[in-house]
Amino acid sequence: MIKVLIVEDDPMVAELNKHYLDQVEGFVLVGMVSNGAEALEFLKLNEVTLILLDIFMPIVDGMELLQSIRSIGHNIDIIMITAARNSASIQNSLRQGVVDYLIKPFQFERLYAALIAYRDRIQLIQDSTVLNQNEIDRRILSKGDLPLGDLPKGIERETLNAILEQAKQYSKPFTTEELAKCVGVSRVSVRKYLTFLKETGTLQARLIYRAVGRPVTMFCYIKQ
């Protein structure tokens, strides 16, 4: 299990992040603290794999905590969840090696996609002693199946990656409803992403007529 520490000074936001985290398999919450100073004390006694980190906090803010973690040498990954949207904060976070950066307010689908992508990346690295270029591109850097340029409005790359990875798991055609239940994203949102993947040639769609009721669109992944 991936051990997660939430560092957030707003109790309502912290509880919301906890609620979202509980819905994703493979993660366990080991603690919640309200600033960087409390986080550093927590890390002295507890093992943590991933921190969901805010920037604007009292005493020791998120950037100071991130720098302390790196200087101490903790092998901990960071996903920033913050209202800070200025380029300096984003650039500094990326230079310190954060694995993702979410701007408040965000939708559950975006955090879900970030966690799924992180979980799959960690699993791949743990299971493999040597990686080839294709695995690095497709599983670590999320390149290969999807276009690398700008995506259409309303299409988030992390969510797109999560939906595509789930689509690959099906050995037979699947419906929008089936995939939505597995991914935890609304049917309306999933339908939008599946349509995009069909248009890019990543998925194949076929209309199936049943004896009763409306016809159903079935999708399947086209192996590259």
Domain spans of the chain, in order of start: 2-106, 149-221
Distance CA 157, CA 188 (A): 17
* 142 has pLDDT over 60: no
Structural domain 149-221, CATH architecture:
Orthogonal Bundle (1.10)
Q: Is residue 205 classed as helix, strand or coil in its secondary structure? A: strand
pLDDT digits (tens, 9 = 90+) for 30-83: 999 999 999 999 999 999 999 999 999 999 999 999 999 999 888 899 999 999
DSSP per-residue codes, 42-100: HHHHS--SEEEE-S--SSS-HHHHHHHHHHHT---EEEEEES--SHHHHHHHHHTT-SE
Average pLDDT for the chain: 86
Higher-scoring residue by pLDDT: 27, 133: 27
Residue 131 contacts residue 124 (beta carbons within 8 Å):
yes
Distance CA 24, CA 122 (A): 15
- Sign of the four-CA dihedral 7, 11, 15, 17: negative
Nearest one of 79, 120, 77, 76 to 102, comparing CA atoms: 79
Q: What is the pTM of this model?
A: 0.66
Give 13's pLDDT tier (boundaries 50, 70, 90): very high
The stretches of the chain forming alpha helices (DSSP H) are: 11-22, 36-45, 62-72, 87-95, 108-127, 133-135, 157-168, 176-183, 187-199
In the structure encoding, which two tokens stand for residue 109, read together?
A: 């689908």
Indicate the helix (H) or strand (E) that contains 218: strand 216-221
Q: For tokens 């999807």, what's the residue? A: 146
**pLDDT attached to residue 138:** 58
**pLDDT attached to residue 219:** 92
* 25 has pLDDT over 90: no
Superfamily of domain 2-106: Response regulator (3.40.50.2300)
**pLDDT attached to residue 224:** 53
Give 148's pLDDT tier (boundaries 50, 70, 90): very low
